[in-house]
Structure 1
Amino acid sequence: MLTIGTKAPLFAAESTKGRIDLQTLIGKKKLVLIFYPGDETPICTKQLCAIRDRYSDLEAADAVVIGINPADLTSHQAFSGKFGYDFPLIADEDQAIRKAYKVGKILGFLFQQRIVYVIDKQGTIVYAKKGNPPVTELLQVVNQNP
């Protein structure tokens, strides 16, 4: 896992909302990257639905949320459509983004770990936590970092 104070690795990838290029977002928006193990799994669904339910608060704090896992775009589109996610889900099929962010594998290497990063507008990681932190905690971090 990358540590607080580390510059966020840049990437460009396809998502449910079109191509996402971090280089175009740095300097303009704060970022919340959610690495989650799998589409349509109970904890992942709960985590992303909690984000969905507070997404307008995150947007008001000038943050963009991006979900990332190795599933393909078709899977992400079905998952996103079923639950009404307004934020993009990135298809990291070659797992290059996961590796750049040092997100490990779990369960016999079948799934990636669940890790959330918050990146400030300068491109620095200001929050890094394994698991499923409450959205209120993410909002607090986003609001404390200009």
Structure 2
Amino acid sequence: MSLLGQSAPDFTLPSTLGEPITLSSYRGQKHVVLVFYPLDFSPVCSMQLPEYSGRQDDFADADTVVLGVNRDSVYTHQAWAAEYGIDVPLLADLNLAVARAYGVALDERGISGRAVFLIDKGGVVQFEHVEEKTGDYTVRPADVLDRVATLR
């Protein structure tokens, strides 16, 4: 199921910012990169999200916000973010409803797959990449920044 060229499914989820984040609140203001990842504290995720966090200034310069999404709780997200120096907001999709809406829920495993969605300021999905295996990490922050640059 591809969402490319379609309106991104809206959602509101609890976040590490202490208040819920609603995707549509960015419409008309910021591009949004949704980074779905399987689990906090897992090896590949513990490389991926710090890399996105380390490029946060570059994303901000491109009018883009990065949001990490998985099924872990806000409390787990906060502990992981503190340990790994992750500054991007992490959202708690506890029942995988948002992962299902984006077609990346792995219900049999109780996690989401690893995927990246780039949503433009109009709320339309302009890029999507779903990794074949949860241990794969082929689309890096630099690749996404290149995609964002085409939206200007």
Normalising to structure 1: TM-score of the pair? 0.93
- Superposed, which structure 2 residues align to 1:15-26 within 5 Å? 15-17=15-17, 18-26=19-27
The two structures, once aligned, show a CA RMSD in angstroms of 1.4
Tell me the CA shift for residue 27 of structure 1. Answer: 1.2
Is 1:84 the equivalent of 2:93? no
What is the correspondence of 1:127-138 to structure 2 with a 5 Å cutoff? Answer: 127-131=127-131, 132=137, 133-138=139-144
Equivalents in 2 of 1:33, 1:84: separation in Å?
19
1:14 and 2:14 correspond: yes
Q: Distance in 1 between matches of 2:5 and 2:11?
A: 18
Distance (whole Å) between structure 1 residues aligned to residue 87 and residue 60 of structure 2: 11
Task: Provide the rounded CA distance (Å) in 2 between the counterparts of 1:77 and 1:49.
Answer: 13
Percentage identity across paired residues of the two chains = 34
Q: Secondary structure at the match of 1:121?
A: coil
Distance across 1 between alignment mates of 2:130 and 2:25: 26
Map of 2:134 onto structure 1: none
In the TM superposition, residue 94 of structure 1 has moved relative to its aligned partner by: 1.7
Number of equivalences: 145
Counterpart position of 2:5: 5
Q: How high is the TM-score relative to the length of structure 2?
A: 0.90
Q: 1:113 is aligned with what amino acid?
A: G
CA distance in structure 2 between the partners assigned to 1:75 and 1:129 by the alignment: 26
Unmatched segments (≥5 aa) in structure 1: none
Specify the code of the residue in structure 1 equivalent to 2:128: A
Instruction: Please give the alpha-carbon distance, in whole angstroms, between the structure 2 residues aligned to 1:91 and 1:110.
Output: 13
| Structure 1 position 60, deviation (Å) | 0.7
* Counterpart position of 2:102: 101
Secondary structure of 2:116's counterpart equals strand
Matched residue, 2:68: 67
Point out 4+ residue stretches in structure 1 off by more than 6 angstroms.
none
